[in-house]
Each structure stands twice: as structure tokens, then as C-alpha cells.
Amino acid sequence: MDRIVKPAAILTAILVFLCALAPSLPAAAALRSPESVLHSMSTSEKLCQMLFVSFGSYTDSEGRQTLSPGARDCISRHGFGGVIIFAQNAVSSADTVRLIDDMQLSSSRGGAKAQLLIACDQEGGTITRLGQGTAGPGNMALGAANDPSLAERTGRLIGGELSSLGINVDFAPSVDINNEPANPVIGVRSFSDSASICASLGVGMMRGLRSAGTTAVLKHFPGHGDTSTDSHTGLPSVDKTYEQIRQNELVPFQACINAGAEMIMTAHIRYPRIETEVYTSPVTGRSLTLPATLSERIITGILRGDMGFNGVVITDGMLMSAIAENFGAVEASCLAIEAGADLLLEPVSAVGSSGIQALENFIEALTEKADNGSISMAKIDAAVLRILRLKQSKGLLGAYDGSGLEARISYAEANVGSAAHHAEEWEITKRTVTLVKNNGALPFPASTGRIAVLIPQSGMELSARYAIERLRREGLLSSGCALEVINYDGADYQTVKSRIGNADAVIAVSVVKNASGLRSSNAALIERLIGYVHGYGGKFAVLSAHLPYDAARFPDADAVMLCYSSKGMSESPYGQNGPMNEYGPNIPCAIYMMFAGSPTAALPVNIPRLNEEHRFTNEVLYPRGFGLAYSDAPQPTSAPTSAPASESPTAEPTGALTDEPTEGVTEEAATDAIETPQATAGGTAELPDTAVPGFTPEAGTATPSFFTPEPTAEPGDRSGKLLIAAAAVLLPLAVITALIVFRRKK
């Protein structure tokens, strides 16, 4: 009998040990469901899971960007839903990996029941956050190519780099329709003023990001493209009916929802003909209709009800003026939750010890609101469940495994901003360059003697030199071609004229970031210089490097080319062996194509004709879909008297063509949350507190297997089955042992 009893007793002991150990086993975590996690959470834990916070910047004694002790402690004490990082947190790839690893470990040490969502605004083009990375040409440039496969490639490129850093959410793409040319905040962040183009490219970008392991966030619902006010500085209002936006602004969002969108960001914009509830602001005392972020009619009724979106809704930054100047932080958050929002983006600033204390006070006040019934617990539970289900689908439900940090850093440094990625970025960007006017000046001959390139900012000098050097290296430009880069910003006519001299060709880079830029001194200077160069027989090409609407500003130019992003470069790609700083490919690519290749893209937006005061009219000069190739017949030297025939018979925009922007706001300054200030280096002062699919590291770099995120195990997963199988064998033995022992005692 002892032969049976002793082994059975041992097995029983093993079973008891496994049961005691089970809470820390991966298999046990595998058996947890979002529902069980939700039921185990306190009210405060649920509300913290609904917060997306930012802690600013902190530099340690070794000069690395990291978490301040206060921020680390705050993350450990609260299971936040996510953390947003900005450019100041992502200067180098190595520091970014370390920072995110520290965030995830801090959250796990505090007993968080799910890992953090880590996000940034890496839209591409002018809106990027990675100091070292691959920006891509930007949305409006992709709209000019109008090829969903290019949008998908770009999304995969950006998403792969984010994933290798540990960033699992991208606040992109913007699927706003830029149907207001004077829009002060969207502009080139939009694919087009066509709903169908925004829809197809938005789906492509979303799929590309998702294929690389990054969750895309569609923004800004229900649309920020037809406003003349920036919600960072004011509270915009759009006077459209539900039926009007359903046929236009909502089209891209619906297409993305149909294609499996997982997250959508709301806009702080009022739609008084849709959301009619009048609210008295506790801050200003004035009555106003609720913006979309706080509107149950828009979030729950339209987005979830009519459009069938079952994913996670995140607000735009709650610190933006549209919210902060009209609502208190706690009150606005209560309204947003009641409206149906799941995640609150930066409800308060958590920079420095005072900011962290403000966040603590906010959590306490919000918890009190939930406990006294001011916020529906059913809505809180529904929101948290959606968040946990998203995290489960991304392998983020359960503790964080921080092993292999140095290998992850090595992989990120080899992957982010690699030569291979920049080569792909260049090929994509070549497909986006658009030519709308050419009297035969382009392409410039390879033997062009002297070229003067006029730039409005010093950061573009290397962009111009890189283009010329690339042409030379590829044998497309004679060695006798001389290049002179002239910064004309703030310069007087005589100075620039004397530096141009008798150049054979002049390329003037024009940067217009809002409608008032069409009437700037720089625009007037270019116009005057065109006459001077023509006077001695030279050729003059204008490169529109940001908003495309200045294509109508220079009717006497020999050629007008567009590239849709004015980002420069801080170092030349030539001679760089390791990670290099992110740069804009658009300007060098467009200058390159003034000599080689042939443009194939077409306008993604209608270009209005300007009146004598250089203000928009309601007449279209160059319609969406118009674009020239070098094989086309030369165009007249003056602007056409009638609009060229459109190649894209998409619906005309419904917004009026007005051109009064918000003063002092430039498009590239826009961000969906508020950038926090840099901290003092050294950290002594009080400071703010897997293999990627589709990407291969540089040759000779091993790809660590842990880069592929493991999905959160379901009860049917192998680890769960092993534990169940062991229990199935050991439990009967334990029962038999108990019976034998009982009988022997009798």
C-alpha cells in the first residue's frame, strides 16, 4: 500500500505547489479574460485604466531621457491605460527603448493588471515624433499619388519602426477631408479634399500600421477639415447637418470601420446642427453647444450606433484650449465618459512634482464622482472592457516581460531610420511629386551651368545639396554644374538679386503654411525675382513645399512643382553609418525630379484661383486630379484663363473657400496632445516627472525572437491546456490517495 500512498502523496504535494504558484504562471495569466480582470478592479483602477497620460521630459546624470522618480512612482501606483510620448522623449532610438521599458516595468511592479498602451503622433511628413526614424512624405503627398498600396507601404514602414521601439499605438492617420483651404491645423496632414481618396488611403495606411504590429488611431472624428479655427487655440464650430457630414466627412471613417478600425480619436469641434444641447461653461459662464468629444449624440449615437464602431474611442488632448478654456478638467472628463469616450488623453498636465500631484488630485476627484453616481458605472465598465479587449488582442493583458533589453536596443538602432527604410521612403516620395505648370523649362538639362536655389529657412540647405549630390552620384548631372543656396527669408530684393546674378536656372522654394502666407513678403519677393530672371533670359521654377495653394500665386513662373512637406534635414545621409536624424524626403526628391525622371502624381485637392489681393475665390484654377508629365506639351507662361479639365470626377467640397486663418498658428505646430517642456539636463532640479512583420534588420544583425508580441493566451492555448491536463491527472490521484489514507485509518 505504501508504494501507492507515497507517490500519490508526492503528486498531491506537486498539485498543491502548482495551485499556489498558479497566479504567477503565464498559463494562469492565459486563463484570465478581460471580463475577469474588469471584475477584479476597484473603481479607481478602472478610471486609471481610462487615462492616457504624459510625464514630460527628464534627463538623468548620464544624459539619457528617462522617467523621473516621481513619474516612475506614479506609474507604479496607478494602472494607467496608456502613456503618450513626444519628440522630447524620442530623441534617440536607444533612449526611447529604455524609457518605454522603464514605463512598462514600473507599471508591472505596481501590480497593474494590463500593460500600457504607448502612443505618439507619428503621422509622417511634417508631424512626426521620432528623432531618428523614417518620416515618409506625409498624407497629402500620398494623396497626390492616390495609390492605396503606397499608403499601406508607408504605414508598414512607420509602424515597423514604432513597434521596434516599443510604441504600440500611432495617433495616425488623419482622415480629415481638407475641404477648407484656409484650415489652420489640418492642411497637408489630410490626404485630400475628396472623401473617396481620404477613405481609400486611410484604409491603406491603417492596414500598413496594423500589419507591423501598431494600432492605428483614426482622427479627428467626425472631421476637422472644414474649420477655420484650430482646436488647440479655440473652439471650432461647423455649421453642417448630419446628412451633410454623412455624405462627406464620415465617409473615410466608415470605410476604416468597415475595414476593422480599432481606435478612433474625437475632435473638439461643435456641430450645433447635430448636437443641440446647450451647456453653460463653468469656466466662462457662457452658453454653448457641446463639442463632439463631449457629445453622447455624436459618440454613442452616431459613431457607435449608426456607424457600428465597437472599438476604443479616445479623446483628443483634453489640455487643448477648446476644452481647457471652456470646461473644468474633472467636469469635461465626466461629460466625455458619459458621452461614450473610453480613453481620456492628457486630462491634466503631469509635468513635475506639482503636475503629478495635480494628476493624483484629479484621480481622486474623478473616483469620487464615480462613487457618488455622477458618472454611470455601467459606462465606466463598458469603456474599461473595450480597453482590456484591445489590450488582450495585442498581447498586453498580463505582466510585462522586460527581458533582452540590450538586444531590443540593438535591433531598434539597426531598424529605425535604416538606409533600407530611407531608400524605400525615397521611392515612395518620387511617386508623389506633382507638376502643374511647365512651359518647357523642366526637366533642366544635365549640363545646366549655374543653379541658384532660394530657400526660406536654413534647415533646407542640406536638402538642396543632397538632391544635387544624388544627381551627380547617379551620373544625371554634369560635374560643371554649380549650385548656390540662398536663404531669402527676410532678405531684401537687391541682396537676393545680386546673389542670383545671371544664374542659368533659379529654383525658389515657397513655403505657405496658412492662407495669410499667400500675401507674405516672401511670396512678393519671389514674384518680383521671377521678372528679374526672365529679364536676362533665365529659367525660374517654383517649388511649392507645403500647402499646395501657392501653385496659384506665381502665374509668371516657368514651372510650378509641388511636394507637400517643408521638413528639412540636419545632416546629410551621405557618410552616415549608424542611426541618423529623421529628415524630410520631399524637397530633395522634388529638386532631383526637376532634372531626372518624370512626375506622375496629380493634385489631391482643388487649387482656387486667387484675386488681385491674393485671396481665395470660389473659382477653381487647377482641379483635383490635374497633373503634368514631362512628355506633355509646354504650358503657357501665364496662368490659364479657365481651369484644366479634371481627371478625377469626385464630388466638389461642400465648404466655402475662405482664407482667414487663426492668427499665430502654423500647421506644423499642431499636435493632438500638448507637448510638454524640456527639463534641465542632469536631473538635479525638480523635473517632469519582437520581429516586426515585413521588416528585416541590416545585414549581420540578428533578429531577437521576442520582438514578435505573443497574443494573450486564451483558455484553449497550449500553456493553459498543459495546466488543465496536469490538474486532470493529479487531482484524481490526490482523491485516490485521500481515500486510501482514510481507509487505512479506519
Rounded to whole angstroms, the Cα distance separating 323 from 318 reads 6
How far is C-alpha 423 from the geometric centre of its chain's CA atoms?
21
Rounded to whole angstroms, the Cα distance separating 706 from 409 reads 12
Task: Report DSSP state, residue 306.
Answer: I
The SS3 assignment for 246 reads helix
Residues 516, 521, 522, 523, CA torsion sign: positive
Residues 143, 144, 145, 150, CA torsion sign: negative
DSSP letter for each residue of 293-304: GG-HIIIIIIII
DSSP letter for each residue of 187-200: GGGSS-S-HHHHHH
Percent helix, strand and coil across the chain, each to the nearest 5: 40, 10, 45
| Rg (alpha carbons) of the chain, rounded to whole number | 29
SS (H, E, C) 272-298: CCCCCCEEECCCCCCEEECEHHHCHHH
What angle in degrees, to the nearest 10, is found between the helix axes of 195-211 and 250-258?
40
Q: Which helix (H) or strand (E) holds 253?
A: helix 250-258
Rounded to whole angstroms, the Cα distance separating 318 from 683 reads 28
The CB density around residue 84, as the number of other CB atoms within 10 Å, is: 27
Q: What are the backbone angles phi and psi of residue 617, rounded to the nearest 5°?
A: -110, 180
**Is there a cis peptide before residue 173, judged by omega within 30 degrees of 0?**
yes
| Residues labelled as active-site residues | 232, 316
The CB density around residue 529, as the number of other CB atoms within 10 Å, is: 20
In 3D space, the residue among 109, 107, 85, 108 whose CA is nearest the CA of residue 97 turns out to be 85
Cell triple for 87: 519628440
How far is C-alpha 18 from the geometric centre of its chain's CA atoms?
45
Q: What are the backbone angles phi and psi of residue 384, rounded to the nearest 5°?
A: -65, -40
The SS3 assignment for 482 reads strand
